[in-house]
Amino acid sequence: MDDMEEIPKKVPRLGLRHLQAGLLFYGLAANTVLQLNVSVAVVAMTNGTTSNNSDPPHYNWSEEKKSYILSSYYWGCALAQFPAGYLCKRFGSKAVLFWGTLGSSLLSALTTYGVYAAGWKAYCAIRLLQGLCQVTWPCIHQHLANWCPTAERTRLGAFAYTGFDCGNVLAMYGAGMIASSSLGWPGISYSAAGLGLIWCGLWLLLGANKASEARFIGEAEKAYIVGDIQRSERKEPKKMEIPWKGIFTSVPVYALLCARCADSWGLTTMQTELPTYLSGVLKLDMKSNAVFSALPFLLMWVMCYVYLIIADVLLRKKWMSLTTLRKTYTSIALWAPATIMLSLVFVGEEQKTLVLVLVTLSVGVSSAATIGSELNTIDLSPNHAGILAGLMSSFTNLMALLTPLVVGVLVTDPGQRSQWQVVFSLAAGVLFAGNVIFLIWGTAVTQPWNESKESRRELEPEEKPFQHTKLEIAADNSDGNVVGLKLNCTSP
């Protein structure tokens, strides 16, 4: 049945629930800009010279120092994920997401003054604090659960999550254009702060933890959302003990972890290092850098919808099992970029057009990971998907933290193509290995530890009365006029 057919006629087709999804889209895009614009900002701050007193200063930071700046955000982000989930449940997603975004926005506004005062060390400290403010993902999960009826959950959730892809494009393209304008690199942090602060105002005015608390919602829509969520809650199992032993001894969990970490390594390499590569090796100016840094993520955004449509058809027609679908999409997301990155090793900088096409494709095709491995936590354990997602997020943030540091060691001169060949070869190797492990040990089958101990416990044979007892119906004499019943018991 189509989702729209399940919505009562009196409920508006476009209501406050859609506004909440739109606010989540905007909030996720704003937080992604606050997170990722640093990769363009670092290039703008270190490439060029100050021609007069009115121009912002430029810095001669080493690649090692730049790697600390690029990775410092993830130091705080890795620490914030589990506490953020608890705070959302304790205080509600509205308050936690508001204060997190407000804090990150204000820190962004202070970036220029911090760098002027204390250089790259202040920049690292500000980025670390911004990472601690990154509570977006747990809050979005919680808010969608409180606002999305079952019939519209996939549609509204998918729309909200694409704010991440939109933020990628804005971070790369917008930051480059601002840096090349009269605002210079300080304008990058100011504009990101403004984007976040505007969202905070809208969120404070229009956001609400639940439909029952919203000020501008109609009675029909409120009854629809609250009633649907209450019915879902009655279907949910009672509070279950978290099966830590089952999780940490599960081979499919470790296979998924390898795939997620590999994907994080490859994507972070492009998110944080692509502007530096385009500037150093291809000698692109800031405006061109902005366009070609954003283009791969624009393709990634578009491909999300393409992959979703294809996956829906494959599952609906039953042309693939869920496990086969997950492995196929994960292979596309990991092996296709790995192949392209290996190709980059053999393509010279004089073939600029081919390099730009390969770079764009390597990022664009990787969005298959959303359907391939990101959703696999729900397959393995619907009851504990949140715990698995938090576990995966902690390790993927660790990969995002390490990637710039490793690149900072490998690349001492951004203009040296040979050093980038090592970076791309390493990323390709990680992507290849991660997918091999997932293909061998990954699965979409729900694991036994997903259920409670009571559900898993099977009765022993002696606790199953009549297990070996058979009822026989037969004629009692030769003429068949009398029917007899006999119990045949094969065990005492």
pLDDT band at 231 (very low <50, low <70, confident <90, very high): low
**pLDDT tens figures, 363-408:** 889 888 888 888 788 788 877 776 787 788 888 888 988 998 899 8
Phi and psi torsions of 484, nearest 5°: -115, 145
Please tell me the predicted confidence (pLDDT) of residue 465.
43
Which of 243-252, 290-299, 348-357, 432-441 has maximum average pLDDT?
A: 432-441
Contact residues for 91 (Cβ-Cβ < 8 A; gap 6+): none
Displacement of CA 298 from its chain's centroid (Å)? 16
- The answer to whether 100 and 134 are in contact (CB under 8 A) is yes
Q: Identify the residue with better confidence: 16 or 248.
A: 248
Residue 3 has pLDDT above 50, yes or no: no
- The answer to whether 341 and 431 are in contact (CB under 8 A) is yes
Strand-pairing partners, residue 3, are none
Q: Is residue 487 part of a domain?
A: no
Residue 315 amino acid letter: L
pLDDT band at 479 (very low <50, low <70, confident <90, very high): low
Residue 35 amino acid letter: Q
Please tell me the predicted confidence (pLDDT) of residue 292.
85
**pLDDT tens figures, 60-75:** 898 889 889 988 998 8
Structure tokens, 179: 């840096």
Q: Is residue 429 part of a domain?
A: yes
Q: Is residue 8 part of a domain?
A: no
Q: Which CATH number fits the domain that encloses residue 150?
A: 1.20.1250.20
Please tell me the predicted confidence (pLDDT) of residue 156.
78
Residue 295 has pLDDT above 50, yes or no: yes
Q: Is residue 149 part of a domain?
A: yes
**pLDDT tens figures, 456-467:** 554 344 444 444
- The answer to whether 256 and 377 are in contact (CB under 8 A) is yes
Query: Which residues form the domain of 342?
Result: 16-232+259-445
Q: Is residue 390 part of a domain?
A: yes
Q: Is residue 453 part of a domain?
A: no
Strand-pairing partners, residue 469, are 489
Please tell me the predicted confidence (pLDDT) of residue 490.
45
**pLDDT tens figures, 236-285:** 555 667 788 888 999 999 999 999 999 999 988 888 888 888 888 888 87
Closest CA to 275 of 265, 263, 262, 285: 285
Displacement of CA 150 from its chain's centroid (Å)? 21
* Mean pLDDT of all residues in 105-111: 95
- The answer to whether 327 and 439 are in contact (CB under 8 A) is yes
Instruction: Domain count for the chain, please give it.
Output: 1
Please tell me the predicted confidence (pLDDT) of residue 253.
93
Residue 432 has pLDDT above 90, yes or no: yes
Q: What is the mean pLDDT of the chain?
A: 82
Q: Identify the residue with better confidence: 55 or 172.
A: 172
Residue 488 has pLDDT above 60, yes or no: no
Q: Is residue 63 part of a domain?
A: yes
Q: Is residue 245 part of a domain?
A: no
Q: Of the ranges 193-197, 257-261, 339-343, 413-417, which one carries the lowest mean pLDDT score?
A: 413-417
Residue 151 has pLDDT above 60, yes or no: yes
Structure tokens, 245: 């032993």
Enter the pTM of the model: 0.75
